[in-house]
Chain A
Amino acid sequence: MSSRSHRTRTVLTFGVCLVLLAGVHALSYLSQRDLIRSIEWVSHTRDVEREIDRLLVNLERAQTEVTAYQITSDPGYVQSFGERMVMADEQVAKLKELSADNPHAQQMLDEVRGEISESLGGWAATYLVAPAAPPTLEQLSEGRSRRREQADKLSSKIVKLGENENELLQERRSAQSFYTKLTSAAFGAAAFVGMVLLLGIFTLLMREIDLQLKAQGTIVHLHSGLEREAAKLKLVNKELETFSYSVSHDLRAPLRSIDGFSHALEEDYRDKLDDEGRDYLNRIRNAAQRMGALIDDMLELARVTRSEMHLGDVNLSAMAREIMGRIAIADGERRVRIQIEDGLHAWGDKALLAVAFENLLANAWKFSAKNPDALIEVGMAQRDGERTLFIRDNGAGFDMRYANKLFIPFQRLHAVTDFPGTGVGLATVQRIIHRHEGRIWADGEVNKGATFTFTLPMEADDA
């Protein structure tokens, strides 16, 4: 799976989880709000019931007090009758206030209020004024039963009100239990969904962590592998260095003995040798010296391959002039036209590029030796939008059929007797150009000359 689609999937999953969680929490919030409201309703209904009880008690007392006054004529019983009337009125008003949401109760309360004031007011007017004569037993009993009747009627009405309110309470109770159930269901669902989501996220995260750990493990493994390879390479390089050091020392020493004692033989025993013997000795010496040259060139090739690069801007025009000058001085007898373009430069290792130029320019000098009108050119050309540098001579040239053999070490296209050399020079040049991420190729024609063209980085970023 690509990391992009993985990412998209993660974002989507997370979005869905968020929406689910938010929905569940909204639901549980709503049901909780309703629950609180229904709890409030229940307590409200209780308040109404309590108030109804108080009113009933008040009325009952009023009735009883009037009866006691009638029997005893003691005004102490009815001294607070006025207060009772006011209290009853207040109690009804409070009930109206409490049941403001219930139109039926309001209506009933209005009736009750009228009847209370009528009954109590009637009692006050009929029984509480001082009678001319004490009432008869009959009168007493009749008044009492009438009051009883009135009080009962009132009570039943009030009780009905209470029943009405009680019904409401039952309704609300059942509503409350419904909301309680809904709330707990919503909370349960929220908790469940939350847990499921958490589990999902946990699983996803664990998988991510595992994947990452695995990737890290792979990286660490690769890294340690690379480190081991690097250490091995370092060891091999070290061995190679030791090897070329001992080649440099030990392989050359016997050659010196061969050449030196051949020289001694030639000088000290000249009389005892005929021409053939002296020729053999000469050949021995030539062979020893040639092997010495081969060893030197091989070491140079190895050095060029492994030496550390110190990069910088190199003035190739100045470098070519200096090297050409040195070659011309060493071989002062020849007249060669030299044309070196100004402003040639490259980004590279000065010492390595000098070795490359020395080889190329020495070749140009060497192979143009048989042309009396020799010309060596160093310049720049654009080729397919790319800058190329070239070193050209009008010397012996070569057959293009063998162009691919030019850069192979020890491959030569000319006899050593015609043009001396080890055949390592161009291989060395090629390695240097390759180490600069460049390319080199050769064009030539027999007896017309050769052109070596190569690319080199111009700026630090090109390399």
Chain B
Amino acid sequence: MNQQSILLVEDSPDDVDLTLRAFKKNNMLNEVFVARDGVQAIEFLLGKEGEKDPNPGPLPGLVLLDLNLPLINGIEVLKRIRSEERTRLLRVVVMTSSREEKDLVDSYHYGATSYIRKPVDFNQFIEAVRQLGMYWLVLNEAPPAGVAKP
């Protein structure tokens, strides 16, 4: 598999462990970074707010974004990602418990790449993660790095 990294934005330690386990089950060996809240996610992607010369690391190939997050919620994180030149084209898959129409509509409205509802059945979850990794990290052709505004 491709070695693009993954940013997992998730506050529940259980969900972090289970998600990592699902990666492992699917032999996805990509480097995984975990952000425990919205602020950490934004700092990881865009650098610390207010610093003169923010020097964030390389962008991940995929962001898995929970919606219910402490400090700054998922939709706000998504808005920030889409409003910054650096992260405008980043692939952000919303992965959440909710199936509320409002969350679905909001996510797509603010530019989510995809929306996945975490199933209760762990077998189904493993399958979902497998398909997700296969599609976004292997099959899908990513936009070339440093694409500027058209």
The chain A residues found within 8 Å of chain B, CB to CB, are: 244-245, 248-250, 252-253, 255-257, 259-264, 285, 288-289, 291-293, 296, 299
A253 with B21: CB separation less than 8 A: no
Q: Are B121 and A253 touching (Cβ within 8 A)?
A: no
Task: Report the bound CA distance from A250 to B68 in whole Å.
Answer: 10
Cβ contacts under 8 Å, A293 to chain B: 120
13 A/B residue pairs, CB under 8 Å, sorted by A: A245-B102, A248-B97, A248-B98, A249-B98, A253-B14, A256-B97, A256-B120, A256-B125, A260-B18, A260-B21, A263-B123, A264-B18, A299-B99
Residues of A within 8 A of B123 (CB): 263
Residues of B within 8 A of A264 (CB): 18, 21, 122
Given contacts A253-B15, A291-B120, 15 further A-B contacts (CB under 8 A): A245-B98, A248-B97, A248-B99, A249-B97, A249-B98, A256-B14, A256-B18, A256-B119, A256-B125, A257-B14, A260-B17, A261-B14, A262-B122, A263-B122, A285-B121
Which A residue's beta carbon lies closest to that of B25? A267
Q: Is B40 an interface residue (CB 8 A)?
A: no
| A256-B100 contact, Cβ under 8 Å, with A249-B68, A261-B14, A264-B21 | no
Question: Given contacts A249-B68, A253-B15, are A259 and B96 in contact (CB under 8 A)?
Answer: no
Contact A255 B68 (CB under 8 A): no
Find the B residue at minimum CB distance from A307. B101
Convert B43-76 into 0s and 1s, putting 1 for each residue whose CB lies closer than 8 angstroms to a CB of A.
Answer: 0000000000000000000000000100000000
Assuming the A-B contacts A261-B14, A264-B21, are A252 and B121 also in contact, with contact meaning beta carbons closer than 8 angstroms in the complex?
Answer: no
The digit string for B2-40, where 1 denotes a CB below 8 A from any CB of A, is 000000000010110110010000000000000000000
B120 near A259 (CB under 8 angstroms)? Answer: yes
Interface of A is mostly: helix
What is the 8 Å Cβ interface bit string for chain B, positions 87-114, against chain A (1 contact, 0 not)? 0000000001111101000000000000
Check B122 against A259 for contact (C-beta < 8 Å). Answer: yes
User: Which of B12, B100, B125 has the largest number of chain A CB atoms within 10 A?
Assistant: B100
Q: Kindly state the separation between the CA atoms of A249 and B100 in the bound complex, as whole angstroms.
A: 9
Contact flag A249-B122 (CB < 8 Å), given A257-B14, A264-B21: no
Contact A256 B15 (CB under 8 A): yes
Assess A292 versus B121: contact at CB under 8 Å? Given A248-B97, A248-B98: yes
Q: How many residues of B contact A (CB 8 A)?
A: 20
Complex CA gap A296/B100 in Å reads 11
Which one of B96, B121, B125 has the greatest number of beta carbons of chain A within 10 Å? B121
* Nearest opposing residue in chain A for B102, CB measure: A245
**In the complex, what distance in Å separates the CA atom of A227 from the CA atom of B17?**
50
Give Cα A285–Cα B120 distance, bound, in whole angstroms. 9
Q: How many A-B residue pairs have CB under 8 A?
A: 63
Chain B residue with minimal CB distance to A262? B122
Centre residue among B21, B97, B122, B125 by max chain A CB count within 10 A: B122
A253 touches B97 (CB 8 A): yes
- Assuming the contacts A249-B68, A288-B120, A292-B120, asked whether A260 and B125 have C-beta atoms less than 8 A apart, the reply is yes
Which residues of chain B have C-beta atoms less than 8 A from A244's C-beta? Answer: 100
Measured between alpha carbons, how far is A394 from B85 in the docked complex, in Å? 62
Residue of A nearest to B120 (CB): A292
The residue among A256, A296, A299 with the most chain B CB atoms within 10 A of its own CB is A256
What's the least CB distance linking B140 to chain A, in Å? 26
Contact B118 A256 (CB under 8 A): yes
Residues of A within 8 A of B99 (CB): 248, 296, 299
> Which chain A residues lie closer than 8 Å to B18 at the CB level?
256-257, 260-261, 264
Report the bound CA distance from A296 to B15 in whole Å.
Answer: 20
Q: For the complex, what is the distance from the CA of A257 to the CA of B122, rounded to whole Å?
A: 9
Q: How far is the CA of A385 from the CA of B96 in the complex (A)?
A: 50
Q: Which residues of B contact A296 (CB under 8 A)?
A: 99
Other-chain contact of A253, B12, B102, B122 (Cβ < 8 Å): B12
Whether A248 contacts B121 by the Cβ 8 Å rule is: no
Closest Cβ of chain A: how far from B17's Cβ, in Å? 8
Q: Which residues of A contact B102 (CB under 8 A)?
A: 245
Q: In the docked arrangement, what's the CA distance between A256 and B128, Å?
A: 14
Q: Which of A252, A260, A289, A292 contacts B14 (CB 8 A)?
A: A260
Complex partner residue of B121 from A249, A250, A261, A289, CB under 8 angstroms: A289
Chain A residues whose CB sits within 8 angstroms of the CB of B14 once the complex forms: 253, 256-257, 260-261
Q: In the assembled complex, how far is the CB of residue B100 from the closest CB belonging to chain A, in whole angstroms?
A: 6
Cβ-closest 10 pairs across A and B: A292-B120, A260-B18, A263-B122, A257-B14, A260-B122, A252-B97, A255-B120, A249-B97, A259-B122, A248-B98
A386 to B106, CA, bound (A): 44
Q: How far apart are the CA atoms of A285 and B121 in the complex, in Å?
A: 8
- Chain A nearest CB from B38 CB (Å) reads 16
